[in-house]
Amino acid sequence: MAYTTYKRPGILTALCIIGYIVVMGSLPSIFSPDVRRLGIWFPSVLGLLIALRFIAFVGIWHMKKWGVELLLYAFLGGLIITELAGITSYYVGVPAQIIALGVAFIYYRKMDRNL
């Protein structure tokens, strides 16, 4: 079975680079005292969501469908967790995440299913 490989579009390259920068910038928030006040479980869940986003951007960089799917799951998980914790400041970044998901889903058909 032969697979067609596509060259990564420039907009996905930019999306991944911006995503890496945002993920790396959000890493220190795991150790923030404000995050610890939300609950003893919240820093570990936040760290997991940040790690999932990083892995998702690696998958998108390599034009893998699982990267887009993982980014969607991390987005939905973040919405659920912040709603449970009663955080409203998370919603500021929601439009940017929806745009990122939209751009990634535009190229979803051209991505490879295999690992």
68-97: average pLDDT: 86
pLDDT of residue 90: 67
| pTM of the predicted model as reported, rounded to 2 decimal places | 0.86
Helix (H) or strand (E) holding 44: helix 42-61
Q: Let me know if 74 is exposed, middle or buried by CB neighbors in 10 A (0-12, 13-18, 19+).
A: buried
Residue type, 115: L
pLDDT digits (tens, 9 = 90+) for 25-51: 989 988 988 888 888 888 999 999 999
User: How high is the pLDDT of residue 67?
Assistant: 94
| Per-residue tokens: 114 | 């295999």
pLDDT of residue 38: 84
* Lowest mean pLDDT segment, chosen from 1-15, 23-37, 52-66: 1-15
d(CA 31, CA 50): 13
What phi, psi does 3 have (nearest 5°)?
Answer: -115, 140
